[in-house]
A and B are shown apart, each in its own frame.
Chain A
Amino acid sequence: GQQLNQSPQSMFIQEGEDVSMNCTSSSIFNTWLWYKQDPGEGPVLLIALYKAGELTSNGRLTAQFGITRKDSFLNISASIPSDVGIYFCAGQSAGGTSYGKLTFGQGTILTVHP
């Protein structure tokens, strides 16, 4: 099946630092999504990307859909303590029986020290 490699697995940073994480795939995706999950909660959508090369921002978050359609990155600028959590990338293929199904990366655990 399709696989997503997300890195890094974990990050320990100081408040105010910038963060970067990425995902690479063995397959082409038509949609890339980035989610954040707080402990004991469900993932919440941060950014959705629909076109190769697309660069989208949501406040301090910026994500890009790679030109090859096999990768994506998420940047967080000027991190704050509430950025703590697990960040997941997810890729979605279109059409056929895979319509609407997501393939998830393993997650990046972010810890922010005040």
Chain B
Amino acid sequence: DGGITQSPKYLFRKEGQNVTLSCEQNLNHDAMYWYRQDPGQGLRLIYYSQIVNDFQKGDIAEGYSVSREKKESFPLTVTSAQKNPTAFYLCASTPLEHSGSPLHFGNGTRLTVT
């Protein structure tokens, strides 16, 4: 079955450590996105990539980094510079075949930093 796989489902880290969240898709989608979700708030865009080896900052990119070396993969690193990293992180993709292609989401990674 085609889809978006995020791993792990739950992640625990100590403050000051970098951590990388995995996102893989086998939908052959061009664009991939990372969103952060906090209670009572909508999803906020961290980074996105529309083509391999290229990516752009979203609305809340500070303290995060990404890479897009392969079409299928878009890992997100939460660095120690991110002041409030505990959140639910969602990866998404879209084919960009036409304007307005809906995003398809993975099932998220819940990161807890103590």
Q: Tell whether, in the assembled complex, residue A48 and residue B100 are in contact, meaning their CB atoms are under 8 Å apart.
A: yes
Which candidate, B13-21, B61-69, B75-83, B103-111, is the interface stretch facing chain A? B103-111
Q: Using A4-B42, A50-B100 as known contacts, say yes or no to A101 and B48 having CB atoms under 8 A apart.
A: yes
Could you say which residues of chain B place their CB within 8 Å of the CB of A33? 102-103
**A41 contact from B96, B103, B107, Cβ within 8 A:** B107
Residues 34-65 of A, flagged 1 when their CB comes within 8 A of B and 0 if not, give 01000011111100101000000000000000
Q: Tell whether, in the assembled complex, residue A104 and residue B42 are in contact, meaning their CB atoms are under 8 Å apart.
A: yes
Which bracket fits the contact residues of B?
Answer: 20 to 34
Q: Tell whether, in the assembled complex, residue A105 and residue B42 are in contact, meaning their CB atoms are under 8 Å apart.
A: yes
Which candidate, A12-20, A70-78, A88-96, is the interface stretch facing chain B? A88-96
What CA separation (Å) do A9 and B42 show in the bound complex? 11
Could you say which residues of chain B place their CB within 8 Å of the CB of A97? 56
Query: In the complex, how many residues of chain A place their beta carbon closer than 8 angstroms to a beta carbon of chain B?
Result: 30
User: Interface of B with A (CB < 8 Å)?
Assistant: 4, 6, 31, 33, 35, 40-45, 48, 50, 56, 58-59, 90, 92, 94, 96, 99-108, 110
User: Interface of A with B (CB < 8 Å)?
Assistant: 1, 4, 6, 9, 30-31, 33, 35, 40-45, 48, 50, 88, 90, 92, 94-95, 97, 99-102, 104-107
